[in-house]
Amino acid sequence: MKANQSIRKVAVVGYNRLPFARQNTAYAEASNQDMMTAVLNGLIERYHLEGQLLGEVAGGAVLKHSAERNLMRESVLGTNLNPATPACDIQQACDTGLEAAIYIANKIALGQIDAGIAGGVDSTSNVPIVVSENLRKILLAANRSKTFGAKLKQFFKIRFRDLAPVTPAGGEPRTGLTMGGHTEITAKHYGIPREEQDQLALESHQKMARAYDAGFFSDMITPYLGLESDNNLRRDTSIEKLQKLKPAFDKINGTLTAGNSTPFTDGASCILLATEEWAQQHNLPILAYITFAELAAIEYVEAQHNLLLAPVHAANRMLKKADMKLQDFDFYEIHEAFAAQVLATLKIWESPELSKQFGYEALGKIDRDKLNVNGSSLAAAHPFAATGGRVIATMAKLLHQKGSGKGFISVCAAGGQGITMILEK
């Protein structure tokens, strides 16, 4: 970038995703590359990008096979884009989709590219399975051996227990607790009752069902492998049904259930970002502009209740830079990894005492009628890297439909990280 070159505005001009599928259902045999290629081709077809040379495609997956080390580039090569379009992999747990968008947006803002795609994909069904550590060492030693006898000697070290496959661990490496286990601690620490969690989950399903019926998602989703809508959506759920579910993590004193937590999910999403000029040249509307974003991390090994609360830091920093208040927004999209995590975040923002513990003054209350107005992850579910694209697309369309306004996005992630973002129209 030249020293005297001004920062360019970054517009969201397109979006696409696959219907999200619960683990081991419609996409059980689809790979990350299969889904990413499909969602990119859906975007390309919708916005007539066949043969186009874009600046870059960025995204990734949280759960990857070793063979998927160049996932995004290989996915691009399976599409109808100009094969000279470069691509790179980005991975930041559940923040992946947002971080990919920030990466592409920054390149556009700095004048390095005029248009690019940010996306994410995850399969929790078709996951990489590795061999046990002892078997891995034996096989490597056998591979290094020079003679048949030496190789055979290594193979004789294999024991039956070594043959058991190892699936990806679901816990945080530094605590051994799952995200649900951590969030159960969060719910207890911040006093988030079961009733409020179930109510938030119910509202998410009801809002998303209404949005589907109103046609909100009709131009946002490419059907895939026989699925036309998110199969986690429960139109017939009720507060009574949710209340009957047993705790999923703390079986005795827990409040988190399968109903107020997101399930393991497969899916992919992407968004098209560009300059105003590029959008005009391609007859694409400016849906919204990405104006601010902030990444934060939080200590969670000692303070285990704070694993998914990094957006508390991100929001405060971002709003200060933007010179805005939390109440200045027309819509709020807060990723519902768990109902308890959303409610804890809101409670901290509202409470002077709790905010002070994080080093801030309270941001105050938001209008709950503006929160996740078309449902969120508790209804759609959460294919880790794909959630960011879904959330940005939803916010961009809401602002475009309104014709003006501001949107606030917050996504938490494993590893004690989180991103907030502002979209404006």
Residues noted as catalytic:
94, 382, 412
| Mutual angle of helices 179-189 and 339-350, in 10-degree steps | 40
CA proximity to 94, closest of 407, 304, 368, 377: 377
Q: Give the chain as a 3 state SS string.
A: CCCCCCCCCEEEEEEEECCCEECCCCCCCCCHHHHHHHHHHHHHHHCCCCCCCCCEEEEECCCCCHHHCCHHHHHHHCCCCCCCCCEEECCECECHHHHHHHHHHHHHHCCCCCEEEEEEEECCCCCCCECCHHHHHHHHHHHHCCCHHHHHHHHCCCCHHHHCCECCCCECCCCCCEHHHHHHHHHHHCCCCHHHHHHHHHHHHHHHHHHHHCCCCCCCECCECCECCCCCCCCCCCHHHHHHCCECCCCCCCCCECCCECCCEEEEEEEEEECHHHHHHCCCCCCEEEEEEEEEECCCCCCHHHCCCCHHHHHHHHHHHHCCCHHHCCEEEECCCEHHHHHHHHHHHHCHHHHHHCCCCCCCCCCHHHECCCCCHHHHCCCHHHHHHHHHHHHHHHHHHHCCCEEEEEEEECCCEEEEEEEEC
Residue in this structure with the two tokens 């609360």, named with its chain if needed:
309
Q: Rounded to an integer, what distance in angstroms lies between the CA atom of residue 17 and that of residue 36? A: 9
